[in-house]
Structure 1
Amino acid sequence: MRGLAGIWRRSIQARVVTSTILLSALVISLTGWALLRDVASGLAESRRTAAISEARSGFEAAQARLDAAVETEPGTQSQSLTQMVDSLTSARGARRTYELVLQGPLATAGGQVPVRSSAAILPDALPRDLANTVKSKAGTYWRYSKLGLLGGKDREASVVVGSQLRAPGTGDTYALFYLFSMADQQSTLDLVRRALLLGGLAMVLMVGGVAWLVSRQVLDPIRMARRIAERYASGNLEQRMHVSGEDDIARLSTSFNQMAASLQSQIRRLENLSRLQQRFVSDVSHELRTPLTTVQMASEVLYDSRKRFDPQTARSAELLKGELDRFESLLSDLLDLSRFDAGAAKLALDTIDLTQVARDASKDPTIKRKGIKVKVIGADEPAVVEADIRRIDRIVRNLMTNAAKYSGSDRLEIEIAQNDDCVSLAVRDFGVGLSGDETNRVFDRFWRADPARTQGGTGLGLPISREDAQLHGGSLVAWGEPGEGSEFILTIPKPDGSAATPALTSVYA
């Protein structure tokens, strides 16, 4: 069942063919049922009309025989009626299409009504309501019934027609019944039913085959487009669809090829731009390193001698030193990004305890200057991983600094959790928070959530932190709700574990 369910979910052709077969089977079944009902009704009506006409002729002949009889003694009259039943039965040729049942005289002293029949008919073969009606009043009456014979297992459908007979000599009344078998009509109906069943089955199979053929003609180009799209996704942009004819599928293939060519051109252009940008950043960062070092040395000399300057010059020396430090930090970030882009970033692995990293980060001077209270959770047990202490410390301090600068929160929480595979460190604030789109864009380079809240940041801290986390085989994710704060979760795998399942789940997840 799971395999069939999988085929149903994945295959459009299977759904189209199955739905077509089921719907056509339903329509054909309803049509066949209606036709079969009409045929059965027509056969029954035709047989009933013929049976009533033939029975009336038989009733008239039997009544005429009684009228012509001169015997008045009951015994002699009973013998005459027996001969009449035998003669009426044998008068229709070798193949009888009906049976006769004669009951009477109806009014007897002992309450037992004599019954004579042309065959070994079961006592309850006559419909009870029809027998009572015929006995109670004159006229011709009929019913559909099942004809059963003694020793027989099955009952045949039949039309039973009954009427009263009156003996003029004695005044006795008799009930005469004609039982017409409908075996021929039943055989005809069975033949029609088999023909409808076989024809319907053939029609369903034919419709299913047509649906399969048509859906295949339509879906084959779509399957080809899917396979080519998968190759595009894997980086192979040279594949093209085969165009044959001028129909809608051919136009779709042409449009698909044009789209692929346009994508290939755009991707190549973006790749070239990306390579140029990376090269530019790398070259500029390296070229600026030497003059920056010289300027930095000169600024330090001026900064150290600021007490001998006038206030305006001393303030200028302080501003120069601060901006040069900020520029050096930006240059360092750009160099790190160029290493990540070039795949040249390396780890200096060592055994570190993330709980100690969290405690050290909670004592950051920036946090203390802003008067933010920091609570460390889950630091009772060591959380040991193999990592580059410089990069891990940079990640945590970036998260703390961002929370202090941009969140507007007066308290922070650092939580440590671990399982058999990995260790997670979360930094949560209770400030302005992040929206759903911002949680994805917060790791974009140079992106800032709200320029009005900017306090001199470069927009590179979080992108570098995510690159550092991924370099360790871990992850860095962000969660948040507007007005309720935000949370950043760093996950680092243990030496023999996997970071696929974080040890800590965000309260916003």
Structure 2
Amino acid sequence: MSFSDRLAARLLRGGQLLPDGAVSGPVHPLLRLFSRWVRRPLLPALRLWRRNIQLRVVATTLLMSLAVVLLLGVVVVGQVRNGLLTAKAQAAQSQAVGGFEVARKLADGGDENHSDDNSRTASRGTQDSATWLTSLVEQLASGGQGVFSVVALSSDSDEPFGDSTPGTRGPRASGDVDPERSVPVELRRKLDSKSGTFRQYTQIKRIGSNDGMPALIIGKRLNDVNGNQYQLYYLFPFSQEAESLKLVTGTLATAGVFVVILLGAIAWLVVRQVVTPVRMAAGISERLAAGLLQERMKVTGEDDIARLGESFNKMAQNLQLKIQQLEELSRMQRRFVSDVSHELRTPLTTVRMAADVIHEVRDEFDPATARSAELLRGQLDRFESLLAELLEISRFDAGAAALEAEPVDLRDVVNRVIEGAEPLAERKGSRIVVRGAEHPVMAEADPRRVERILRNLVVNAVEHGEGRNVVVRLASAGGRSDGAVAVAVRDYGVGLKPGEATRVFNRFWRADPARARTTGGTGLGLSIAIEDARLHGGWLQAWGEPGGGSQFRLTLPRTAGEKLRGSPIPLEPEDSRRNRGLDEQGRPRPGAGRGASTIPAQPRPGAQHAAARPAAAPPALPPGGSTRVVPQHTPARKGDGARADGTGEDTRPDTVTTGDPVTTDGPGARGGAAATDSTQQETGRDVEREGGRRGH
């Protein structure tokens, strides 16, 4: 961005430009109000200027044409003016020289009847000098009325300049010319000191008026009939030249305006011929993007625009063909998955019945056969869960999923989910803490789908929490029409690495492929969960940091069909490293001491303690508020240094790196639901059926 663009942007925003484009601090309210008042009427014009290329081209053409016309007009008017002045000066010079010659002859007695010296001397003596000057001015000016004026001034310093009464040799002027103000003092002094003809541009002043007329004055010092010196001036006004120049200027201005308008119209038509196909292509592109794949451009002619239209139509045709092929392939895949899932149900039911019969009498078999019967039943449970989730995914892909919304209290849903996850949490050494359950959290939702979402989140949190506590938080905000409810599940386990949040809701994705699955999941749990959330018009979002745990947040509108505007629970929890003022190594970040939170990190399990003490609320919880802890009786694990109560807490700070929080309602954090390991199937069978069959 150039400096002028940045300056205009800063001025439009009411800020002050500082070095390097920085903006100053708070602006005075009056200045902000003034900038807003100036900016508001300019916004529509600026928006139109940015969006309309035809307007920009035409406006640029008009401005450039106007500049060219103005330049040509100035040059032409200047040439005409110089030509008029030159012609006027030449004509005035000839007229003045002729007048000076007539005055000299009259002063010398140029009459043919006075040929001898005696008679010439007698004639001079009988004629008064003042009367002669008056008659001379009248005689010289008689042939140039409206063309020039004549002024005669005395060269005697003793004679008052302004005295023009009869009998004196004061100034004489033809018409109503004011000789005192019309003849420049510099020119008079030059004539007094030098001989010859001189000229100068001046202003003709009229008696009783202060208005001046541009004129050319030509003067010369002569002798009158008595031999006394006087100054004779010819004043040539530029009135006719001014009228001619005005006429030329007006003609050029009128022609220039018509030329500019004509060029603007031509530019508009020419640009329209180019812009119209582009706009047509843009409109067709938008309709193609909206799914109307049969749209095509109208092609006329054989020029570049026509070739562009043909290429565009070929591209659209190829895209339509490819999209149709992909859609057909996708339909075939969905149909295949659905058909296979349905067809496998019949043999699976038969195998299930046989496996149940074998499992019932497993005590009569040898240990190896009994163990095989147990593994067979566990894998059949997993297979049934996989088929159920594949069928659910196929319904989402086909658009056949329906929402059965009804008023539901999310506290009841959370309680059912926690009751089903307690065996797994007890086996993992975790505790599930519920916060915000003191008030009803009502929403219009499908309880079956919401329970499936929360079951996936809670079981995932327990599975990846590494024996630490899992916090489930409920909150609501807003009214019935624009309100929202949210449930957040926070764990303090392995967390998420940067970039994993965008892939967590993908089908069959796991953050660590080498990690053992212990809950019988299929890898489709979060994929189904996000589809359930979207079916409600809600958000399923995730946040995490490597080694610092993660948080999944489900946000639903209070009323089904309403649009969400926000969530009552922040996506990034209060006990994240950034909120606690820690860097990636877990050390205090410079400059973050005053504003950082002091909430401690969730302690790691396995610390050595001298004596066992009762389980307490996790230190990651802020003090106060209503919490419910799901108790469990977990025996101390051998060799890991855990406490006897199974909490596994220690006092070491959490020193893992911080990941970027996820703020979109797209893919979020950890992968799909965990799967079971064959060696652990027996101990987790109840949880496997609860989680696997319901979409974990």
Could you tell me the TM-score, scaled by structure 2's length?
Answer: 0.63
> How far has the Cα of 1:392 moved from its partner?
0.9
Out of 35-44 and 149-158, give the one that drifted further: 149-158
Mapped partners of 1:453, 1:50: distance in 2: 110
1:45 aligns with 2:97: no
Match of residue 389 from structure 1: 447
Give the 3-state SS of the residue equivalent to 2:181 in structure 1: coil
Contact 2:133–2:172 under 8 Å retained in 1: no
Match of residue 98 from structure 1: 148
- Structure 1 segment 1-400 matched on structure 2, within 5 A: 7-63=48-104, 65-66=106-107, 76-92=128-144, 95-108=145-158, 112=162, 114-122=170-178, 123-127=180-184, 129-135=186-192, 137-150=194-207, 155-165=212-222, 169=226, 172=229, 174-299=230-355, 312-313=368-369, 315-354=371-410, 357=413, 364-365=421-422, 366=424, 370=428, 381-400=439-458
Counterparts in 2 of 1:177 and 1:260: CA distance versus 1, 3 Å: same
Mapped partners of 2:83, 2:446: distance in 1: 93
Contact 1:106–1:175 under 8 Å retained in 2: no
Contact 2:205–2:211 under 8 Å retained in 1: yes
User: Which one of 478, 489, 494 corresponds to residue 419 of structure 1?
Assistant: 478
Out of 2-11 and 38-47, give the one that drifted further: 2-11
Match of residue 502 from structure 1: 566
More helix by share: 1
Mapped partners of 1:35, 1:355: distance in 2: 89
Mapped partners of 2:185, 2:376: distance in 1: 121
> How far has the Cα of 1:21 moved from its partner?
2.1
Mapped partners of 2:74, 2:337: distance in 1: 80
Mapped partners of 1:134, 1:221: distance in 2: 77
Counterparts in 2 of 1:8 and 1:84: CA distance versus 1, 3 Å: same
Mapped partners of 1:358, 1:325: distance in 2: 24
Deviations 1:286-323 (A, max 9, x none): 22223334434554565666666665555544543443
Match of residue 491 from structure 1: 555
Counterparts in 2 of 1:360 and 1:457: CA distance versus 1, 3 Å: closer
Larger RCO: Structure 1 or Structure 2 (Cα < 8 Å, ≥ 6 residues apart)?
2
Q: Which amino acid aligns with 2:130?
A: S
Contact 1:134–1:163 under 8 Å retained in 2: yes
Contact 2:444–2:560 under 8 Å retained in 1: no
> How far has the Cα of 1:200 moved from its partner?
1.4
Counterparts in 2 of 1:140 and 1:19: CA distance versus 1, 3 Å: same
Contact 1:142–1:161 under 8 Å retained in 2: yes
Out of 137-146 and 363-372, give the one that drifted further: 363-372
Q: Which amino acid aligns with 1:207?
A: L
Match of residue 445 from structure 1: 507
Counterparts in 2 of 1:348 and 1:243: CA distance versus 1, 3 Å: closer
> How far has the Cα of 1:334 moved from its partner?
0.8
Contact 1:408–1:432 under 8 Å retained in 2: no
Mapped partners of 1:316, 1:212: distance in 2: 84
Q: Which amino acid aligns with 1:29?
A: L
Q: Which amino acid aligns with 1:89?
A: A
Out of 301-310 and 459-468, give the one that drifted further: 301-310
Mapped partners of 1:106, 1:277: distance in 2: 122
> How far has the Cα of 1:481 moved from its partner?
7.5
Mapped partners of 1:16, 1:66: distance in 2: 73
Counterparts in 2 of 1:42 and 1:301: CA distance versus 1, 3 Å: farther
Q: CA RMSD in A?
A: 3.9
Q: Which amino acid aligns with 1:468?
A: D
Percent identity, please: 44
Q: Which amino acid aligns with 1:337?
A: I
Deviations 1:201-241 (A, max 9, x none): 22122212222222222233333333433443343333333
Mapped partners of 1:379, 1:359: distance in 2: 10
Give the 3-state SS of the residue equivalent to 2:206 in structure 1: coil
Contact 1:434–1:486 under 8 Å retained in 2: no
Q: Which amino acid aligns with 1:18?
A: A
> How far has the Cα of 1:443 moved from its partner?
3.6
Mapped partners of 1:477, 1:270: distance in 2: 29
The size of the alignment, in residue pairs, is 505
Deviations 1:90-126 (A, max 9, x none): 244xx44111222224402657563221121245344
Q: Which amino acid aligns with 2:73?
A: G
Q: Which amino acid aligns with 1:353?
A: D
Counterparts in 2 of 1:445 and 1:131: CA distance versus 1, 3 Å: farther
Give the 3-state SS of the residue equivalent to 1:124 in structure 2: helix
Deviations 1:28-58 (A, max 9, x none): 2222223222322332333234434543443
1:472 aligns with 2:540: no
Counterparts in 2 of 1:480 and 1:266: CA distance versus 1, 3 Å: farther
More strand by share: 1
Mapped partners of 2:89, 2:55: distance in 1: 50
> How far has the Cα of 1:8 moved from its partner?
3.8
Q: Which amino acid aligns with 2:258?
A: A
Counterparts in 2 of 1:75 and 1:333: CA distance versus 1, 3 Å: farther
User: Which one of 433, 448, 463 corresponds to residue 527 of structure 2?
Assistant: 463
Counterparts in 2 of 1:128 and 1:460: CA distance versus 1, 3 Å: farther
Mapped partners of 1:487, 1:141: distance in 2: 100
Deviations 1:6-38 (A, max 9, x none): 554443333332332222222222222232223
Out of 203-212 and 358-367, give the one that drifted further: 358-367
- Structure 1 segment 422-433 matched on structure 2, within 5 A: 422-427=484-489, 432-433=495-496
Counterparts in 2 of 1:102 and 1:302: CA distance versus 1, 3 Å: farther
Give the 3-state SS of the residue equivalent to 1:160 in structure 2: strand
Q: Which amino acid aligns with 2:92?
A: A
Give the 3-state SS of the residue equivalent to 2:128 in structure 1: helix
Counterparts in 2 of 1:171 and 1:152: CA distance versus 1, 3 Å: closer
Give the 3-state SS of the residue equivalent to 1:331 in structure 2: helix
Give the 3-state SS of the residue equivalent to 1:255 in structure 2: helix
Deviations 1:396-437 (A, max 9, x none): 23234445556989676655342231223344667654656x
> How far has the Cα of 1:165 moved from its partner?
3.8
Give the 3-state SS of the residue equivalent to 1:43 in structure 2: helix
Could you tell me the TM-score, scaled by structure 1's length?
Answer: 0.83
Out of 65-74 and 281-290, give the one that drifted further: 65-74
Counterparts in 2 of 1:235 and 1:53: CA distance versus 1, 3 Å: same
Mapped partners of 1:490, 1:429: distance in 2: 15
Mapped partners of 2:402, 2:207: distance in 1: 102
